[in-house]
Amino acid sequence: MNRRKSKQIKKKAHSLMYQWLHTLVSEEDAKEITKENFKDFFPTLEKYIYHERNLRLSSFTERWFIQNIKKKLKYINLNKIELRDIV
């Protein structure tokens, strides 16, 4: 995968994370969240967890969104991927 495509995927992951965060909070709190500061509202989780003697990727992290977008790229165009396709 070239650099241009990976930048597009990362930008799409950020927009999906932003949308997902808005579904979790109330409307008053959603007004405080902008595209510049939405990462501050995510907890600082470890990217990987140890489960049943295996190292697994934690869900709903930036890396998790990127991986799920890459899986969907086989079937759906990047511009048509929505939050409901990922979550």
For the chain, the domains span 3-86
How far apart CA 52 and CA 40 sit, in angstroms, is 31
Q: Residue 45's pLDDT is what?
A: 67
- End-to-end distance of the chain based on CA atoms, in angstroms? 24
Q: Residue 9's pLDDT is what?
A: 94
Q: Work out the percent of the chain whose per-residue pLDDT is above 90.
A: 39
Q: Residue 14's pLDDT is what?
A: 93
27 confidence band (pLDDT: 50, 70, 90): confident
| Residue 50 φ/ψ, nearest 5 degrees | -100, 115
- Mean pLDDT of the 31-49 span: 81
- Mean pLDDT of the 29-39 span: 86
How far apart CA 27 and CA 73 sit, in angstroms, is 32
39 confidence band (pLDDT: 50, 70, 90): confident
